[in-house]
């Protein structure tokens, strides 16, 4: 589904980010969901480096993505995934154990796994080389390994984390990618294979291509 300037759905993204963030900014999640659901969307790029003050009225923490769907305004990628899935009646079962499992894994990705990915980014990228970050690494990586090992057990032989492919997989795959940057996932071959399956979906490919295309080469000059 190509990006369409006349689409009803608008995804706010960044106009430029440093190399380490390219392909990892979280507007990837709604882009991916839109691609899976066959929904066209338009882009609204804003500056990550000079975050406009008015943007905080739309997103309390100045983060992307923010999504408009007609008159509706949505923030937090998890909430946006739920909205897009409910809008189309796909990627999130309507009821019963299947719905409970998708919601369980959706929140697990956001609250039980991604927080340690954020901490990892803190010690490996934002505070790389600082004494405290070096000292923090051993126990943090041990914690991460424990979590990945538990996700491995839970995944077992299944193709997707909670029944059919769902928004829980969009959240989990995009989170697990953070642990693939330093090869930690090599220790967990079935998780690495799961990640691969997710990233091989054509919708994922189109989503990441669109995110990368939206970035300018050089940081735009502040207005």
What is the contact surface with a copy of itself in residues (CB under 8 A)?
Answer: 56, 60-63, 71-79, 82-83, 96-97, 100, 103-108, 110-112, 114-115, 118-119, 127, 130-133, 135-136, 139, 147, 150-151, 153-154
Write down the residue that tokens 């390219």 correspond to: 22
Taking the least distance from each CB to a copy of itself, the nearer of 143 and 216 is 143
Q: Nearest CA to 59 among 18, 12, 23, 16? A: 12
Taking the least distance from each CB to a copy of itself, the nearer of 24 and 201 is 24
What are the helix (H) ranges across the chain?
28-37, 77-88, 96-107, 114-121, 131-155, 167-176, 189-199, 202-214
Taking the least distance from each CB to a copy of itself, the nearer of 167 and 215 is 167
Smallest gap, in angstroms, from Cβ of residue 200 to a copy of itself? 24
Q: For residue 190, how many C-alpha atoms fall within 13 Å in the half-sphere facing its CB?
A: 14
Smallest gap, in angstroms, from Cβ of residue 114 to a copy of itself? 6
Dist. CA 113–CA 146, nearest whole Å? 11
Smallest gap, in angstroms, from Cβ of residue 217 to a copy of itself? 30
Taking the least distance from each CB to a copy of itself, the nearer of 82 and 208 is 82
Smallest gap, in angstroms, from Cβ of residue 14 to a copy of itself? 17
Query: What is the tally of helices (H) and strands (E) in the chain?
Result: 8, 4
């Amino acid at each position: 589904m190509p990006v369409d300037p006349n689409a009803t759905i608008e995804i706010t993204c960044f106009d430029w980010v440093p190399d380490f963030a390219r392909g990892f900014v979280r507007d990837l999640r709604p882009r991916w969901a839109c691609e899976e659901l066959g929904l066209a969307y338009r882009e609204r790029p804003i500056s990550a480096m000079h975050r406009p003050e008015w943007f905080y009225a739309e997103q309390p923490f100045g983060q992307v993505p923010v999504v408009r769907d007609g008159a509706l305004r949505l923030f937090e990628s998890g909430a946006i995934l739920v909205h897009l899935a409910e809008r189309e009646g796909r990627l999130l079962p309507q009821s019963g154990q299947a719905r409970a499992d998708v919601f369980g894994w959706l929140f697990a990705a956001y609250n039980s796994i991604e927080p340690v990915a954020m901490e990892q980014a803190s010690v490996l990228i934002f505070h790389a080389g600082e004494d405290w970050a070096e000292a923090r690494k051993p126990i943090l990586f041990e914690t991460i390994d424990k979590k990945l090992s538990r996700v491995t057990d839970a995944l077992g032989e299944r193709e997707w984390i909670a029944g059919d492919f769902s928004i829980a997989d969009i959240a989990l795959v995009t989170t697990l990618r953070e642990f693939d940057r330093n090869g930690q996932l090599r220790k967990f071959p079935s998780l690495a294979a799961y990640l691969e399956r997710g990233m091989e979906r054509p919708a994922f490919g189109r989503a990441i291509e669109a995110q990368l295309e939206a970035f300018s080469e050089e940081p735009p000059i502040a207005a």
